[in-house]
Amino acid sequence: LLYEPTQTTRVGIAYRSGVSHTLKGEADFTVPDSASILTSTGQFTDSDAEADLDLPDSLSLSVYQKVSDRWAVMGDVTWTNWSRFEELRIEFDNPAQGDSVEPENWEDTFRFGLGVNYLPGEKLTLRTGVAYDPTPVQNEFRTARIPDSDRIWLSFGSSYEVSDSFSLDFAYVHIFFADSSIDNSTPPGGNLNGDFESSADIVSLGLSWKF
């Protein structure tokens, strides 16, 4: 939904529904001879497996404000219903193999973004923006599979109108992840301790054709 109260101001609301997946595959176990006692009851043998995964819905509120013929600023707030992701459960076709269950208990989050557009000429648009994206992962439920942490997104991009019909878009994003730690104990005695340092770079190139 987009509302334009003036020629220089736009306010938008966007909703994206949640999606439920069923992932199917094969569980392949490799058990050394010295630990063959583990398979004596029928466990840890190859079988089919599946897992249900519920991805969240989200709701965004955004504002665009044209400041002058060359400058415009914009901002957005996005709520994501991450609390749908309560656990990661893998079910095995082998009746002797119990479910693999990893509690997640993620929390809902609010993401905040701020951006600027600059038009140095009629055909070229330059963009930059920053966003704060807090993690839905609670410290006590952080796992090695998903060692997530709070993130800051810093982006730069540009658009160039080759003609009235074609335009080229380029963007670069660097994501700063806050350092995080893990201290997990898994029955019957496994323990995993450690620290994570992460970052990510995203480069995109697009071509738009109007007809």
Contact 117, 72 (CB under 8 A): yes
pLDDT of amino acid 187: 62
Distance from C-alpha of 49 to C-alpha of 46, rounded to nearest angstrom: 9
- The whole-number average pLDDT for the span 94-105 is 90
How would DSSP label each residue in 70-93? SEEEEEEEEEE-GGG--EEEEEES
Contact 154, 122 (CB under 8 A): no
Question: Any idea which residue has 């010295």 for tokens?
Answer: 34
- pLDDT class for 37, splitting at 50, 70, 90? confident
Distances (CA, A) of 210 to 127, 159, 171, 207: 21, 14, 20, 10
CB atoms inside a 10 Å sphere around CB 131? 19
- What digits encode the pLDDT tens for the residues 173-201? 999 999 988 887 766 557 888 888 999 99
Distance from C-alpha of 170 to C-alpha of 157, rounded to nearest angstrom: 5
- What digits encode the pLDDT tens for the residues 65-92? 999 999 999 999 999 999 999 998 999 9
- What digits encode the pLDDT tens for the residues 3-28? 999 999 999 999 999 999 999 999 99
Q: Which amino acid is at 93?
A: D
| pTM score, whole prediction | 0.83
